[in-house]
Structure 1
Amino acid sequence: MSGRGRGSYRGRGRYGRGNNRTHKTNFNGTNKKTTTSNLYDLNSASKSTNNFEEVNRNVLTNIRKVYGTLVHQALVDRKHIDFNDSKMKPQRQTSTATDPDTKASEEAEYDTDFKAAIAQYAKDKAAYNEKMGKVIAVLWAQCTRELQVKIEERADYTTHIKDDAIALMNAIEEHAMGHDKSKLKLEIIGDAIRNLFMIRQKEEEELISYYERFKSATKLLKRHFGGQINITSLIDDMKKNNPTMDEKDIQT
């Protein structure tokens, strides 16, 4: 007989803003001095894209521990939680009782439950917005100064990136993976293809770590292409060799 709202926050949307210039905490789960090996860094010819996925995994793991599942999921999905989604908001139940006394009693209980659910909903929304603002500072502190300067030089830094954790996360990945938006589109795609095909499993690297780096590079390439990447001749050859193979399994 409870009228509580749904508590599984799965919606996506925009949210509040925060400051990204003051937080200086080492967020790698240790008390050791922060070094460039555990920071997001610019990609260059002398630096492979291998480090981004490892640093990102450590940062997001610690963000989840400190700021919770909702914030972590928003960063992983690169989509903001939408608290205005109908699935997010508490829904008030209505009594279906035919007896007037029973109906009045149930309606009173539903009113009490609904008010409590709305209060918790507002509290959760405010807490989430506050945490996302703090995460901007955390992500910024995890960038090398070289990478910070590169991001600050972007035309959309002040208007889009500075106060938006998801936009900042995307910018960090683009520059850490070597995809500078100031380049021509074809040049960016060429860099993404080159990075993908140059990924190699490092000595003593676990297979899961190698797979995560490969997956990250693939997702970034797909983002620049705007969808699935189909190399028709390769797909045809693979289907000939394995007629039962699903074409989706050989698309990036």
Structure 2
Amino acid sequence: MGALKGKLAGKTALVTGGSRGIGRGIAERLGRDGARVAVHYGSNEAAAKETVAAIEAAGGEAFAIGQELGVPGDAAALWAAFDAHADGVDVLVNNAGIGTSQPFGSTEEAEYDRLFAVNTKAPYFLAQLGAERLRDGGRIVNISTGLSHAAMMPELTTYAMTKGALDVFTKYLAKVLGSRGITVNAVAPGIIDTDVNASWLRASDEAWAGAAAFSALGRVGEPGDVADVVAFLASHEGRWVTGQWIDATGGSLP
């Protein structure tokens, strides 16, 4: 029960894509800080339940909610599922996203639309419908990418564009909700060791070393590196930071 005495005691958080990778790291950290965490998943219910179990094992509270993003009515359906478990929210973390795309020359309209639907449109309407549920003094954290500020991987042009739009949304939403004491920020990871990246990142020692070389700190990032930044923004200590794009790439940008 120690976690319930943390900085977020009495708060409720929703983490989209909270079943795996960076999202799981964020969900577990907010749970350790005392928040009751809604762990959203798109399709992998088992992974979400594992995350919930991990949070509970650490003394926290959590529940899983499933909803595919990028489809009509996704935001309304997700919030309806949330409402069945909680009355209001204090922290919304828009983490769910599609992390791959085809190069510019071969991107088809369907893929372009899908990337924007999941990475940009869903967070927009989750925030819009969530605003009425978000308590004054609450927090919204959008998970962006270092690629929106540096053209380091041209093959991910479309993906970077979706996050660039999310960055602009972050700045404007901070102005819209600021009068209620709600902060809105974007956190931008670099290369993180998750199962999404495992196929290429762990393909060889050379691949791992090459990824580590991007960071000024000389290592590959871990989910906890990003989760700790989000936890700061979600806490009372982060109250005077809003409308910002936080570089959490480990010094990977030129």
- Please identify the structure whose Cα radius of gyration is greater: 1
Structure ranking higher in helix proportion: 1
> Which is strand-richer, 1 or 2?
2
Higher RCO (Cα < 8 Å, 6 or more apart): 1
Bin the TM-score by the shorter chain.
under 0.3
For normalisation by structure 1, the TM-score amounts to 0.23
